[in-house]
């Protein structure tokens, strides 16, 4: 499978596949494709996996596209202004991502639900209790809100992140919360009461414009809802 990512701020993932190669996508992700791509819809294994995908922000069912009779073309466009992040998953590189991050993956990648182990991080970290977990072997393509910035944290190295700006991380990274110091800072600083604290080792991917931040920025300019 070969791929290229084109366009901003609404990018599209364009893949070229050989006969027999398969691509997994979430419901409705296909933008265009060649006629020799055959689609099948399934639960992706057990009912438990299907419910896990639903809780992680995706459809219970997934679409699998198989290339038949020679090379084929498949394209999946982003659903939100931002970037499409390609990440290689293998037995030594499990990826944890925000809800609804999944766009597409090679057939060897498995997506499951990942639960926050720390209650405080789940309640106040901005990422929620339920995240997406990618294991197996192959490329996964994630939707990033706004622009993406990658950091490689050394063992014990920490970075403080505003809630919602964490897009994805390696499983080796620990996530926790930290209260904003000072009552005045917490009440009037505009940064909320808590920040997310990430501790290495491992890679993290941060996003510049979470969807809720964009919604808050646009809300004053939108007509008020009428009953």
pLDDT tens for each residue of the chain, 227 residues long: 999 999 988 999 999 999 999 999 988 899 999 999 999 987 665 555 555 555 545 566 789 999 999 999 999 999 889 999 999 999 999 999 998 899 999 999 999 887 765 544 444 444 455 889 999 999 999 999 999 999 999 999 999 998 789 999 999 999 988 876 645 444 444 455 678 899 999 999 999 998 777 777 777 887 864 44
Give a yes or no: residue 226 inside a domain.
no
Nearest residue to 25 via CA among 12, 36, 35, 8: 12
Domain holding 160, by residue range, is 2-221
Handedness of CA 33, 35, 36, 40 (dihedral sign): positive
Residue 78 DSSP class: -
Give a yes or no: residue 82 inside a domain.
yes
175: domain CATH number?
Answer: 3.60.160.10
Nearest residue to 161 via CA among 102, 115, 213: 213
Give a yes or no: residue 89 inside a domain.
yes
Position 48 scores a pLDDT of: 54
Position 195 scores a pLDDT of: 84
Position 216 scores a pLDDT of: 72
Give a yes or no: residue 111 inside a domain.
yes
Position 1 scores a pLDDT of: 94
Give a yes or no: residue 227 inside a domain.
no
pTM for the model:
0.83
Give a yes or no: residue 70 inside a domain.
yes
The count of domains in the chain is: 1
At 199 the three-state DSSP class reads strand
Give a yes or no: residue 91 inside a domain.
yes
The torsion of the CA quartet 124, 127, 132, 136, rounded to 10 degrees, works out to -90
Give a yes or no: residue 23 inside a domain.
yes
Which residues make beta-bridge pairs with 179? 194
């Amino acid at each position: 499978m070969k791929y290229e990512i084109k366009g901003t701020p609404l990018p599209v993932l364009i893949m070229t596949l050989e006969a027999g190669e398969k691509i997994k996508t979430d419901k409705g992700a296909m933008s265009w494709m060649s006629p020799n791509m055959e689609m099948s819809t399934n639960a992706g294994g057990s009912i438990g996996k299907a419910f896990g995908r639903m809780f992680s922000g995706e459809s219970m069912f997934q679409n699998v596209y198989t290339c038949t009779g020679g090379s084929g073309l498949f394209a999946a466009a982003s659903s939100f202004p931002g970037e499409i992040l390609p990440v290689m998953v293998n037995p030594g590189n499990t990826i944890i991502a925000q809800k609804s991050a999944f766009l597409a993956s090679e057939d060897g990648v498995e997506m499951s639900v990942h639960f926050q182990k720390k209650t405080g991080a789940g309640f106040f970290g901005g990422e929620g209790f339920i995240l997406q977990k990618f294991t197996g072997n192959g490329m996964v393509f994630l939707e990033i809100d706004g622009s993406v910035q990658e950091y490689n944290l050394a063992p014990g190295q920490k970075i403080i992140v505003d809630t919602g700006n964490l897009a994805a991380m390696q499983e080796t990274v620990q996530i926790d919360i930290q209260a904003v110091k000072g009552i005045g800072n917490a009440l009037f600083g505009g940064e909320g009461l808590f920040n997310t604290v990430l501790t290495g080792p491992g890679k993290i991917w941060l996003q510049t414009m979470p969807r809720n931040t964009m919604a808050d920025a646009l809300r004053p300019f939108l007509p008020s809802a009428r009953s």
